[in-house]
Structure formats: structure tokens, C-alpha cells
């Protein structure tokens, strides 16, 4: 296990940061990548190598993969975790922001995957772990761009799993609920900037409050990032990993409700729940 290598994207905070530590503890040689190098400095204490990595930059992605492969021959596990949540009404969010959301959450993930596949194919082994969200199965008002990216990653991952199976490469999807990171609060702030004072302002304030309830330790829907990281480590080390790992408070129940309820019934239940969260 000590000779196996893992590259984690979006490792400066939250799930990515905790995943780098969890994989290192599991015996991997870990490379952690993100734009904010200073945020990753403490990871060095765990024997983790930090790399500058911007998943919207071809040069940055190629450089990160090349560094790992030059040192170890290939990457055994890629954790595609980099991403953010862009919220706001479809009417009001500029198309440029919508494109950026897809560039980070989908195209960056796809390009990182393209770059590691050749080495995995040659070795006839490897594991690609894509961090989506329960948001890849459910939806929220004012979240069209974000949920669009997560639905896209779910479909892409399923296709890729079949595509790469003959080459000995596993593809795994991680579906977290809200975590105790800054993600929800930042998404809510962006939502209010985009739609907090226009025709969608009432919805915007309700959804922003609900998003904030998933950020920070102790909130009703908040799950420690290390719990998600532990699940990713299990997916990375399992002899035969599951195709999907829902994880976090409420993840299983929300996904079960989505499967069982008709669309309009789910709409009503979910929206009423958000109104209660918002107080």
C-alpha cells in the first residue's frame, strides 16, 4: 500500500483537505492540489506533498499530473473533489458564471480524468473517485447551474465506469450531504448577491438560510468533513468498491425520498423543509 499514489484536487479546505489526510493515514503517497497553497501548508506535517492546481488551467493540470507520474510512474487513485456551488436564478446569473461553474465542476474533472487514464490503462489498474453530491440526484430552486453540473458528473461517471472496466480501472461516485465546511455559507452568499434583491428575493433568502445550515460544526445538516473523507478512503482501498457512496446526515433518507415520491410531492416536502430550516 505504501507505494500506491493518490492525487486529490480541491484539497485546500473541507472534504479535499480531510481526504488527503485520510489517504495518507491509509498508506498512500498523497499529492494534494489546489489554488491556495498556503491553506495546504499544514498537510506537509502528514507527509503530504502539496501542488498548485487550478482545474480551469490546462497548464496547471498537466503540470500536476506530470509531477506525480515522473516521481511514481502513474497515479493509482485520483480524487476529483475540486468544485464550488453557484446559486441564483437562471434568469439573473450571467451565462459567463454558468460556464465557469461547468468549467470547474465538470470540465476540470473531465480533463483531470483524461490526463490520468493513460497511465492507469498501461498498468491495467486504477481508481477514479468523483465527489458529486446528493445534489446530483435532487434539486433546489435557484440551483440550476450547480445541480446541472452534479447531474452531469453522475451521468459521466456511470458511462465512464463501463468504459474503463475492461482496462481494470474503477470509477466511484461519492454523494455527500452538507459538510462542516465553508461551502454552504459561500454558496448562500453568492446566491444573495445574484438574486437577493430581485424578483426571486423571497426564495433566495430561504434557500440561502438553508444552505448556511449545512455549514459549520453543529448545524442540523452538517457532517464533519472527516466522515466523508473516511468514506473516500474506504472507496480507495476496497477490493471491489461500490459504485456509489451516499454519506452524511440525511443523505440516505433524502435519496430514498427522492426515489419514492412523485416529483410534485417531493417538491412540496423539500420546499416546506427548507422553509422550516430558514425559520
Q: Which of 31, 87, 139, 146 is catalytic?
A: 146
Pick from 198, 76, 99, 195: which is nearest to 140 by CA? 195
Pick from 114, 122, 105, 8: which is nearest to 62 by CA? 114
CB 34 within 8 A of CB 16: yes
The x, y and z cell numbers of residue 105, run together, are 465542476
> Could you tell me the strand order of the sheet in which 244-247 lies?
49-52, 29-34, 5-9, 77-80, 126-131, 169-176, 244-247
Mapped onto helix, strand or coil, the DSSP state of residue 182 is: coil
CA distance 264 to 62: 45
The x, y and z cell numbers of residue 34, run together, are 489546489
- Tell me whether residue 274 is one of the annotated catalytic residues: no
CB 224 within 8 A of CB 217: yes
Q: What is the CA radius of gyration of the chain?
A: 18
> Quick one: CA torsion of 243, 247, 253, 257, rounded to 10 degrees?
-50
Q: Which residues are catalytic?
A: 146
Amino acid at each position: 500500500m505504501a507505494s500506491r499514489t493518490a492525487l486529490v484536487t480541491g484539497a485546500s479546505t473541507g472534504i479535499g483537505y480531510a481526504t488527503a489526510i485520510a489517504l495518507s493515514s491509509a498508506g498512500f503517497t498523497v499529492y494534494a492540489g489546489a489554488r491556495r497553497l498556503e491553506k495546504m501548508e499544514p498537510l506537509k506535517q502528514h507527509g503530504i506533498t502539496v501542488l498548485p492546481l487550478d482545474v480551469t488551467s490546462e497548464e496547471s493540470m498537466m503540470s500536476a499530473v506530470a509531477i506525480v507520474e515522473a516521481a511514481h510512474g502513474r497515479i493509482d487513485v485520483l480524487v476529483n473533489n475540486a468544485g464550488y456551488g453557484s446559486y441564483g436564478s437562471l434568469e439573473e446569473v450571467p451565462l459567463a458564471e454558468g460556464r465557469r461553474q461547468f468549467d470547474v465542476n465538470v470540465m476540470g474533472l473531465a480533463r483531470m480524468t483524461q490526463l490520468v487514464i493513460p497511465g492507469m490503462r498501461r498498468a491495467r489498474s486504477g481508481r477514479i473517485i468523483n465527489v458529486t453530491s446528493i445534489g446530483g440526484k435532487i434539486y433546489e430552486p435557484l440551483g440550476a447551474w450547480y445541480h446541472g453540473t452534479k447531474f452531469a458528473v453522475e451521468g459521466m461517471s456511470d458511462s465512464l465506469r463501463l468504459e474503463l472496466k475492461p482496462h481494470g480501472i474503477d470509477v466511484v461516485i461519492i454523494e455527500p450531504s452538507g459538510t462542516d465546511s465553508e461551502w454552504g455559507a459561500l454558496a448562500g452568499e453568492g446566491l444573495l448577491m445574484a438574486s437577493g434583491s430581485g424578483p426571486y428575493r423571497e426564495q433566495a433568502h430561504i434557500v440561502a438560510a438553508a444552505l448556511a445550515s449545512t455549514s459549520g460544526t453543529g448545524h442540523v445538516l452538517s457532517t464533519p468533513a472527516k466522515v466523508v473523507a473516511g468514506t473516500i478512503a474506504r472507496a480507495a482501498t476496497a477490493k471491489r468498491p461500490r459504485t456509489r457512496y451516499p454519506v452524511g446526515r440525511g443523505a440516505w433518507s433524502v435519496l430514498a425520498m427522492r426515489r419514492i415520491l412523485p416529483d410534485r410531492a417531493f417538491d412540496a416536502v423539500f420546499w416546506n423543509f427548507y422553509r422550516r430550516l430558514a425559520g
